């Protein structure tokens, strides 16, 4: 049992080290040697869990797609909350940054795939439930909205990376959501949504949301 627990911890440590290296150097330039050095584990321990750089990238993409947010009275608030917590975690958590960088890499993603479909699934489910509850405008198509939010979010975080090294990513994502929501939410729901730029930070702190890498 203790052995199994240790294996889980080692696997996690390796994935976090891989995320740090991928986030910093990108997939192509990252080496297993760098990842080993960052993880502080033996080559044997790493290869016990992952047999290639590709497998490491896939493992990072799996653990970063963690869309858990506290349940809210207005379901649509949870769409905002997913985007705002991810924006907040991007600044602090290499696992999220690696997911974003790996997914935007046109060479790498031929090998290991992309985080975007995972996030689209997470958001489609929330928007669909919000739609069933009558919170959205009637023309809303949940998957279309989910794809729009994921793709626009990703453009905004890439831009924030370039302009401010992510320092204002939470502000920019808040602006994005403020512009998208009037064509998604019914007016009565719209005015009750909290899209403040510190929403992600508050949720992570107050609701005790544990980042994927903790």
Q: Shortest distance, CB of residue 183 to its own copies, whole angstroms?
A: 5
Shortest Cβ 6–its own copies spacing (Å):
35
Both tokens of 103, joined, read: 């997914």
If the CB atoms of residues 106 and 208 are measured against its own copies, the closer one turns out to be 106
The nearest distance, CB 180 to its own copies, in angstroms, is 5
* Nearest distance, CB of residue 76 and its own copies, angstroms: 14
Could you tell me if 201 and 185 are in contact, meaning their C-beta atoms sit under 8 angstroms apart?
Answer: no
In the bound state with its own copies, the residue whose beta carbon lies nearer, of 129 and 168, is 168
Point out which residues bind its own copies (CB under 8 A).
26, 28-29, 101, 103-104, 106-107, 109, 114, 116, 144, 147-148, 150-156, 158-162, 172, 175-176, 178-180, 182-184
Report which DSSP code applies to 51: S
Task: Rank residues 14 and 80 by Cβ distance to its own copies and give the closer one.
Answer: 80
Q: Taking a C-beta distance cutoff of 8 angstroms, is the pair 9, 31 a contact?
A: no
Rounded alpha-carbon distances, angstroms, from residue 68 to 74, 85, 90, 91, 134: 16, 9, 15, 18, 22
Provide, rounded to whole angstroms, the least separation between the CB of residue 30 and its own copies: 12
Compare residues 12 and 171 and give the one whose CB is closer to its own copies.
171
Residues 10 and 45: beta-carbon distance below 8 Å: yes
Decide whether 52 or 151 has the Cβ nearer to its own copies.
151
What is the Cα–Cα distance from 31 to 156, expressed in whole angstroms? Answer: 28
Residues 6+ apart with CB under 8 A from 121: 146
């Amino acid at each position: 049992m203790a052995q199994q627990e240790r294996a889980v911890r080692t696997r996690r440590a390796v994935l976090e080290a891989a995320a740090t290296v991928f986030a910093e150097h990108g997939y192509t330039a990252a080496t297993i040697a760098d990842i080993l050095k960052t993880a502080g584990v033996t080559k044997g321990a790493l290869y016990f869990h992952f047999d290639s750089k590709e497998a490491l990238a896939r493992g990072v993409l799996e653990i970063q797609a963690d869309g858990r947010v506290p349940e809210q009275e207005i379901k649509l608030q949870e769409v905002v909350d997913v985007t705002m917590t991810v924006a907040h975690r991007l600044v602090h958590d290499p696992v999220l940054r690696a997911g974003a960088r790996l997914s935007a890499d046109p060479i790498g993603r031929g090998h290991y795939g992309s985080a975007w479909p995972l996030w689209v699934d997470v958001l489609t489910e929330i928007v669909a439930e919000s739609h069933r509850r009558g919170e959205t405008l009637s023309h809303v198509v949940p998957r279309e909205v989910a794809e729009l939010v994921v793709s626009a979010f990703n453009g905004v975080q890439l831009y924030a990376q370039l302009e401010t090294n992510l320092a204002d990513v939470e502000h920019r994502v808040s602006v994005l959501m403020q512009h998208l929501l009037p064509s998604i939410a019914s007016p009565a729901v719209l005015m009750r949504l909290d899209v403040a730029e510190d929403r992600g930070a508050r949720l992570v702190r107050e609701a005790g949301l544990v980042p994927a890498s903790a």
